[in-house]
Amino acid sequence: MLSFQSFSISSLPSFSQVATYRGAIVLVLATCLVWLIISRLTPQLTFFWYCFVSPLAGAKDQKARLDKFYEGQADVYDATRKGLLRGRKTMLNLSAGHLRTLRASNPDKRLVWIDIGGGTGHNIEAMDKFLSISSFDAVYLIDLCEPLLQVARKRFAQKGWTNVHILCQDASNFVLPEWQDGVDPKGSVGFVTLSYSLSMIPNFYTLLDRLDYVLSPQDGLLGVVDFYTAGKNSSLHEKAIGGDRKECGWLSRYFWLIWFDFDNVHLSPARRDYLEYKFGTVKSYNGRNRFVLPFIVRIPYYIWLGRPRTADVSKTCHAFEIEGGNTVGNCSPNGSFKVVRDAELSMPPLELGSPVIDQREEKQDVVINITPPLSSFHYQVNKPWRLPYYQHPVHKEFRTFIYSFTWEDPYVDVMHLELTKDDSMFVITSAGDNALHYAIAARPRRIHCVDMNPCQGHLLELKLAAIQSLDYADFFALFGNGYHVDFRFLLDSKIAPNLSSSAYQFWRINSEAFTTPSKPFYLHGYSGWALRLARVLRKDVERLCECETLDEQVQIWQQKLRPLLLNPIIVALMRNPVFCWNALGVPMNQRRMLLNEGSVYEYVRDTLDPLLSTYLLKTDNYFYLLCLLGHYTHASCPAYLTRPGFEALKANKGKTLDAFRLHTDSIYNVLCGLNSSSLTRSLIMDHLDWFTPASKDVDDEVAQLARVTSPGGFVFWRSAARYPWYNKVFERSGFRVEPVGVRKGSEIALDKVNMYASFWKATRV
């Protein structure tokens, strides 16, 4: 044992020795750090070497090039492509949802999946999370690259899948083992995928022709995800199949075309153009891969689902898209098909030169000879509520929906509509809340929902599809709470089969509207600005919404909120035309109408004072509860969000929803396409407030309403004016006009909204 006395300064290590020790430690740590970095970056360094440094000289054909390119990086392929090859899981999840829907009527039919260019088998392993591999009778991975297939063999051996088979073949002339002995493969395959492989196959025309031959014409599905380039302007066909955001700028278009060409990946538009010509589009999504440097590197990629053009689309092709004049891109795969005519639709003559070549009536049906291909609306696999529309410059003026909720009281509507199951309705889409209420109340035969803003149609279409495919808890989370953490998954796997391609792409792009807890759905859209303003007064607002009695509610309103909401600053803001339009959806002409009859202060006072003393927000006025809280509650919400209302709409496989027809056009154009005396009930909201007395459009629209409304039928409207000027237009056109209610000061609320000064009914004489 070392004694204290034996210890001396001389026994301490010298400064040079300490420096040597420290240097050695630093060297060891640096070596470990370098080793750690290199080991972590080995996949990326290997990828960089074989993609950008290692030459492909000496490779004489496609197989030789592939083998040479991947032989050194096959083991790190999946690790290095995760961020680069985006959209693969989305394509598989979408495909799984559509396959379930397509095969619902014939679940016992043999299901074969071919993954073209599947390489390491990543797609097949990933699909097992969305649709069990055991659901397939046979799965074939076809690839020409042996190094990648070796990885796939190890992967599948570990999984123990006996129904998965690997074929090292040229994709353009592949042959499945089950096609031996002279078996005709026509229509024998149920599902085909091409994941970043179509751009690498030289004989892509032959491949797509072959896939068209072997794919089942009725329930076959083709899924593709790949890079692409495109021009700066969409063709008519691209507009017909929902080609939003497909256009590429000149730098993106030429840079990526040249860049990928070095690796024999060909992004010229020919591949995608032929794909969309050869097959009917079911879903189309155009995205940008923000790889490595998200604000600089933006590689265009697309996700696409399609069906054979020979699929029977007569059930999904309404006569109206032709009868209403929307003929751009309407083409048939084999020259003719039969369209069943709805009773209220008319057939005006078509102009020469349109895609429709011949038309003739046979009893109640219409036989139309046209040429390929049809729009994406015809090929969606389930519930075709949305009628085809083709992108027009006016549609691009609407960046998003204006109304996330409907601002008219449907309970008062139903009191006066006298609805029956035989009625045919015409309503403005808005957010679709009221149309769903009418469907619950009476299940009318037809509900035409009309809006020029395609985003409003996307919103109602999402609600219809969600009712069809979700349970009540998920549905209320979406549209009651305005938030669902799994919205993207639900959208791809369950909701998408019931959505048009255009609606799917809109919600795929705007999925954050439902996935951001701090900003739920109802705070989006232009109307969301008004709701955000209400949330500034959060403490008093929450107290107001929790009141158990009207007396308590009136007290908080009078003492806390009324002085703040009716102060000169807020009143001045409400007078501002920009705020009126962007936050409240009040156009200039309507604003002028209410100002002609009084001040903004008087209008707001007469709106809010009687409401707070008549309806308890907590249980009896979901309109203002939503405005104050930013979400609904189970105790106060629209009828379609209550469990009984939801179950009524969902019952019998959603049969009640079959009444809906969603039009993306002007009211006048849609009315022109309807048959005379085909409507019995119409609600046009405050729509005519948007026009001026000098406008001839009102006379034309009311004349069409008179033509299509059956004798004894009703037309209802609300107005910001007590006595709107256009009442006389209805009287001149053969209607008897009477008030349902006219607001007189702040004494009585006309309904639970009370935002309009009057409510009118016109009866067709």
Cβ neighbours around 213 below 10 Å, total: 14
Q: Which helix (H) or strand (E) holds 473?
A: helix 472-476
| Of 46-55, 386-395, 499-508, 744-753, the least confident | 46-55
**Beta pairing partners, 709:** 679
Q: Distance from CA of residue 211 to its chain's centroid?
A: 28
Domain edge (last residue) among 382, 402, 431: 382
Are 348 and 319 a contacting pair, CB within 8 Å? no
Residue 572, both tokens: 């001045």
Query: Per the domain annotation, does 156 fall within a domain?
Result: yes
Provide, for the chain, the percentages of residues in helix, strand and coil under a 3-state DSSP scheme, each rounded to the nearest 5: 45, 15, 40
Domain edge (last residue) among 280, 308, 336: 308
Domain edge (last residue) among 248, 281, 308: 308
Q: What is the residue range of 324's domain?
A: 320-382
Looking at the fold, whether 180 and 270 belong to one and the same domain comes out as yes
Looking at the fold, whether 281 and 324 belong to one and the same domain comes out as no
Looking at the fold, whether 106 and 43 belong to one and the same domain comes out as no
SS3 173: helix
Which residue in the block uniquely carries the two structure tokens 């309970």?
411
Query: Per the domain annotation, does 123 fall within a domain?
Result: yes
Respond yes or no on whether the N-terminal peptide bond of residue 373 is cis (omega within 30° of 0).
Answer: yes
- The most confident of the ranges 184-188, 344-348, 562-566, 672-676 is 184-188
From CA 107, how far away is CA 136, in angstroms rounded? 11
How confident is the prediction for the chain on average, in pLDDT? 82
Three-state DSSP string of 703-733: HHHHHHEEEEEEEEEEECCCCCCCHHHHHHC
Name the residue with higher pLDDT: 461 or 60: 461
Tell me: pLDDT of 473 over 90: yes
Looking at the fold, whether 359 and 235 belong to one and the same domain comes out as no
pLDDT at 37: 58
CB within 8 Å of 446: residues ≥ 6 apart: 342, 344, 424, 425, 659, 661
From CA 645, how far away is CA 440, in angstroms rounded? 6
Looking at the fold, whether 119 and 196 belong to one and the same domain comes out as yes
Are 501 and 521 a contacting pair, CB within 8 Å? no
Tell me: pLDDT of 562 over 50: yes
- Where residue 368 falls among pLDDT bands split at 50, 70, 90? very low
Tell me: pLDDT of 329 over 60: no
Query: Per the domain annotation, does 194 fall within a domain?
Result: yes
Query: Per the domain annotation, does 413 fall within a domain?
Result: no
Are 490 and 524 a contacting pair, CB within 8 Å? no
Give me the amino acid identity at 544: L
- The most confident of the ranges 298-302, 326-330, 401-405 is 298-302
**Beta pairing partners, 424:** 446
Query: Per the domain annotation, does 687 fall within a domain?
Result: no
User: pLDDT for 684-717, tens place per residue?
Assistant: 998 898 888 888 999 999 999 999 999 999 999 9
Angle among Cα 253, 259, 262 to the nearest 5 degrees reads 135
Cβ neighbours around 36 below 10 Å, total: 10
Query: Per the domain annotation, does 572 fall within a domain?
Result: no
Are 373 and 309 a contacting pair, CB within 8 Å? yes
- Where residue 322 falls among pLDDT bands split at 50, 70, 90? very low
Q: How many domains does the chain have?
A: 3
Residue 504, both tokens: 């799917």
Q: Using CB atoms within 10 A of its CB, is residue 296 exposed (0-12), middle (13-18) or buried (19+)?
A: exposed
Looking at the fold, whether 127 and 160 belong to one and the same domain comes out as yes
Looking at the fold, whether 45 and 109 belong to one and the same domain comes out as no
pLDDT at 534: 59
pLDDT at 399: 74
> Which domain CATH number covers 230?
3.40.50.150
Tell me: pLDDT of 330 over 60: no
Looking at the fold, whether 265 and 330 belong to one and the same domain comes out as no
- Where residue 540 falls among pLDDT bands split at 50, 70, 90? confident
**Beta pairing partners, 140:** 114, 165
User: pLDDT for 190-209, tens place per residue?
Assistant: 999 999 999 999 999 999 99
Looking at the fold, whether 148 and 291 belong to one and the same domain comes out as yes
Q: Using CB atoms within 10 A of its CB, is residue 613 exposed (0-12), middle (13-18) or buried (19+)?
A: middle
Q: What is the pTM of this model?
A: 0.84
Are 75 and 151 a contacting pair, CB within 8 Å? yes
Tell me: pLDDT of 499 over 90: yes
SS3 626: helix
pLDDT at 517: 84
Query: Per the domain annotation, does 759 fall within a domain?
Result: no
Query: Per the domain annotation, does 703 fall within a domain?
Result: no
pLDDT at 505: 92
- Where residue 364 falls among pLDDT bands split at 50, 70, 90? very low
Tell me: pLDDT of 667 over 80: yes
The total number of residues written for the chain in this structure: 765
Q: Which helix (H) or strand (E) holds 570?
A: helix 568-575
Residue 165, both tokens: 């088979």
SS3 432: coil
pLDDT at 317: 52
CB within 8 Å of 420: residues ≥ 6 apart: 442, 444
φ and ψ of 592, to 5 deg: -65, -35
Looking at the fold, whether 226 and 347 belong to one and the same domain comes out as no
Looking at the fold, whether 101 and 220 belong to one and the same domain comes out as yes
- Where residue 298 falls among pLDDT bands split at 50, 70, 90? confident
pLDDT at 601: 82
Q: Average pLDDT, stretch 498-509?
A: 93
Looking at the fold, whether 337 and 292 belong to one and the same domain comes out as no
From CA 430, how far away is CA 450, in angstroms rounded? 8
- The most confident of the ranges 8-12, 107-111, 252-256, 347-351 is 107-111
